[in-house]
Amino acid sequence: MKAELKQKPQQILDFIKAYRDEHDYPPSLREIGGATGIASTSHVTYYLDQLEEKGYIARDNRISRGIQLLGAAEPFAHAAEEVVSVPYLGYIVASAPISVEPLPGDETVEISRALFGRDTSDLFALTVQGNSMIDALINDGDMVIIRQQERVENGQMAAVWLDDPGETTLKKLYYEGNQVRLQPANPTMEPFYEPAENVRVQGKVVMVIRQMG
Amino acid sequence: MKAELKQKPQQILDFIKAYRDEHDYPPSLREIGGATGIASTSHVTYYLDQLEEKGYIARDNRISRGIQLLGAAEPFAHAAEEVVSVPYLGYIVASAPISVEPLPGDETVEISRALFGRDTSDLFALTVQGNSMIDALINDGDMVIIRQQERVENGQMAAVWLDDPGETTLKKLYYEGNQVRLQPANPTMEPFYEPAENVRVQGKVVMVIRQMG
DNA sequence: ATTATATTGGAACATTTGTTCCATGTCAAG
DNA sequence: CTTGACATGGAACAAATGTTCCAATATAAT
């Protein structure tokens, strides 16, 4: 039974939020009192104790402005959890293996966590250069988000480096004995086969993003 | 000429960030000193003045813990501005026009603003159902982000409703006299033509997002 | 009415915290 | 060697800030 906050405590909570938004640090007891029409600091403490009791805030003893907004209150912490920041590493081209060296200036791409599975580690983003991956329904200029890993499960789309022709490509992989079937994502195109030792998985393709003017 | 921060100031800046992440409020001068091996508060002030000079932080005089992280430093404020929230409206199917009624519970998808042009208004997101748009390099299950508008420029990809067959499709449009050429995004497929009055533009396709397991 | 409980104010006090001023050491330039 | 900018420490001090204790008034319960 989560009782509604009465006016005063609610007012205080709102003020703390607003103050933090403006100053980037929490208010002092006297500032809270001044803004909410409370004359005594002990009176402010009185309400702050209630707010802490009910889990709206946390306080650090004897530390000035030591107030933290919890759960229901904090807007930023929320937003941060709903978005994944994926480092952007430049280009993926057919003629060279993927390089995973971070760019100077650490650019990132933010995308809703909801669009990913639970595992959002080891991700990076690349821009596809060239039309050689059209058979994967991927165009020149598309952005692919890849999870770095050295093997994928049957049927998953992977970025692979083929030793023999010496090129990077994106295909669905099916392990069939000591051969690998590389299946274009475009169902109108035919698969081809490579010996397993010729196929180096660079990562699993997790997402493709195409921007259009 | 943006001079690199020397070790100490950089260390202080990092500490302030970390401390704020953990406590939700900024550290005091003595806490900064303690964490960075500086024995005197005046010494901490010395560096803080430098950081303020260079625009990394702002300080409020005589206010305890009155430190704000600016621009380069603040991760949250940064993220909020760099992300666009696009409302998610459900499905787009070949057999029906697009419906732009918001779903209950207002779901949204957040994506880096950097991936869009400057105009991020009137956007909405839909999930493609069915394989009928494969000629636009779009698969069953892909998400498309569309800007609602009733006409597009030549060569832009649009979501259109064709009165005659009675279906929604995604094509690049070229106005040619009183005909419209509907060009599949997949260059291996042939375009076809429709009389202009049969083509109702529902919106411009701004982005395609494909998620893969 | 009387008692208990919640609300509000005041003020003294102890800490925490920022400021200021002075002193010392280092290191490169003149 | 002297000078001066930079880096560092110390301590005294003033201001800001949280705590604590006491008192007064309301408001509700008995």
Three-state helix/strand/coil letters over A49-69: HHHHHCCCEEECCCCCCCEEE
- Selected catalytic residue, list B28, B112, B171, B172: B171
A64 contacts B28? CB cut-off 8 A:
yes
Same domain, A50 and A124: no
Q: What CATH number has the domain bearing residue A38?
A: 1.10.10.10
Same domain, A106 and A28: no
**Rounded to 5 degrees, what angle do the CA atoms B196, B200, B202 make?**
145
Same domain, B29 and B89: no
Structure tokens belonging to residue A154:
């049957």
Distance between CA atoms of residues A207 and A209, nearest Å: 7
Same domain, A88 and A69: no
**A window 9-38: Cβ near strand C (< 7 A):** 37-38
A82 contacts B79? CB cut-off 8 A:
no
Contacts of B206 (CB under 8 A, 6+ apart): A211, A212, B116, B117, B123, B145, B146, B147
pLDDT of residue A167: 81
Which residue of chain B comes nearest to A22, CA vs CA? Answer: B68
**Does the residue A164 lie in any domain?**
yes
* CA atoms within 13 Å, Cβ hemisphere of A47: 23
Would the Cβ of B132 be found within 7 angstroms of any atom in strand D? no
**Does the residue A42 lie in any domain?**
yes
Q: Show which of A47, A73, A99 is a domain's final residue.
A: A73
| DSSP conformation letters of A135-154 | GGT--TT-EEEEEE-S---T
B210 contacts A212? CB cut-off 8 A:
no
Number of domains making up chain A: 2
Name every chain A residue with its beta carbon within 8 A of the beta carbon of B2. none
Closest C1' nucleotide to B48's CA: C18
DSSP letter assigned to residue A70: -
Reported confidence tier of residue B183, pLDDT bands at 50, 70, 90:
confident
Among A24-38, B21-35, B75-89, B189-203, which is the least confidently predicted range?
Answer: B75-89
Distance between CA atoms of residues A138 and A92, nearest Å: 12
Name every chain A residue with its beta carbon within 8 A of the beta carbon of B109. 112, 114-115
Distance between CA atoms of residues B110 and A83, nearest Å: 7
Q: Which residue has the higher pLDDT, B203 or A185?
A: B203
pLDDT of residue B78: 43
Same domain, A143 and A192: yes
- Selected catalytic residue, list A17, A99, A132, A172: A132
B111 contacts A66? CB cut-off 8 A:
no
Structure tokens belonging to residue B51:
């950081």
Q: Show which of B16, B48, B73 is a domain's final residue.
A: B73
**Does the residue B89 lie in any domain?**
yes
**Does the residue A92 lie in any domain?**
yes
| DSSP conformation letters of B3-71 | PPPPHHHHHHHHHHHHHHHHHSSPPPHHHHHHHHT---HHHHHHHHHHHHHTTSEEE-TT-TT-EEE-T
Closest C1' nucleotide to A66's CA: D18
Same domain, B204 and B113: yes
Q: Which residue has the higher pLDDT, B59 or A169?
A: B59
**Does the residue B2 lie in any domain?**
no
Average pLDDT, chain B: 82
What is the DSSP pairing of strand B192-195 with strand B83-93? unpaired
Reported confidence tier of residue B2, pLDDT bands at 50, 70, 90:
very low
Distance between CA atoms of residues B136 and B183, nearest Å: 9
Name every chain B residue with its beta carbon within 8 A of the beta carbon of A139. 137, 185
Among B30-34, B67-71, B171-175, which is the least confidently predicted range?
Answer: B67-71
pLDDT of residue B101: 65
Distance between CA atoms of residues A151 and A191, nearest Å: 19
Same domain, A181 and A87: yes
Same domain, B124 and B170: yes
Can you tell me the mean pLDDT for B20-49? 93
A208 contacts B212? CB cut-off 8 A:
yes
- Asked whether residue B80 carries a pLDDT value surpassing 70, the answer given is no
Which residue of chain B comes nearest to A152, CA vs CA? Answer: B213
pLDDT of residue B106: 59
Name every chain A residue with its beta carbon within 8 A of the beta carbon of B24. 26, 67-69, 74
Report residues of chain A scoring pLDDT below 50: 1-5, 74-80
Same domain, A57 and A91: no
**Does the residue A90 lie in any domain?**
yes
Protein residue nearest nucleotide D18, by CA to C1': A62
The question of whether B132 is a catalytic residue gets the answer yes
**A window 37-66: Cβ near strand C (< 7 A):** 37-43, 46, 62-64, 66
Same domain, A22 and A100: no
**B window 47-66: Cβ near strand C (< 7 A):** 59, 61-66
Dihedral angle over CA of A126, A89, B69, A51, nearest 10: 50
* CA atoms within 13 Å, Cβ hemisphere of A175: 14
CB-count burial class (<10 Å; 0-12, 13-18, 19+) for A213: exposed
Q: Show which of A73, A95, A130 is a domain's final residue.
A: A73
Point out the residue among A25, A108, A111 whose CB comes nearest to the CB of B66.
Answer: A25
Closest C1' nucleotide to B60's CA: C18
How does pLDDT run across B104-143, given as a tens digit for each residue?
655 788 888 888 877 888 888 988 887 767 667 787 888 9
Protein residue nearest nucleotide C7, by CA to C1': A43
**Does the residue A2 lie in any domain?**
no
**Does the residue A55 lie in any domain?**
yes
**A window 52-111: Cβ near strand D (< 7 A):** 59, 61-66
> Which residue segment(s) compose the domain that A69 sits in?
7-73
What is the DSSP pairing of strand A67-69 with strand A57-59? antiparallel
Percent of chain B with pLDDT over 70: 82
Residues, chain B: 213
Name every chain A residue with its beta carbon within 8 A of the beta carbon of B31. none
Dihedral angle over CA of A71, A73, A74, A80, nearest 10: 60
Contacts of A194 (CB under 8 A, 6+ apart): A162, A164, A179, A180, A182
Query: How many angstroms separate the CA of residue A58 from the nearest CA in chain B?
Result: 10
Q: What CATH number has the domain bearing residue B118?
A: 2.10.109.10
Same domain, A66 and A85: no
Same domain, A51 and A84: no
The question of whether A54 is a catalytic residue gets the answer no
- Selected catalytic residue, list B8, B28, B54, B132: B132
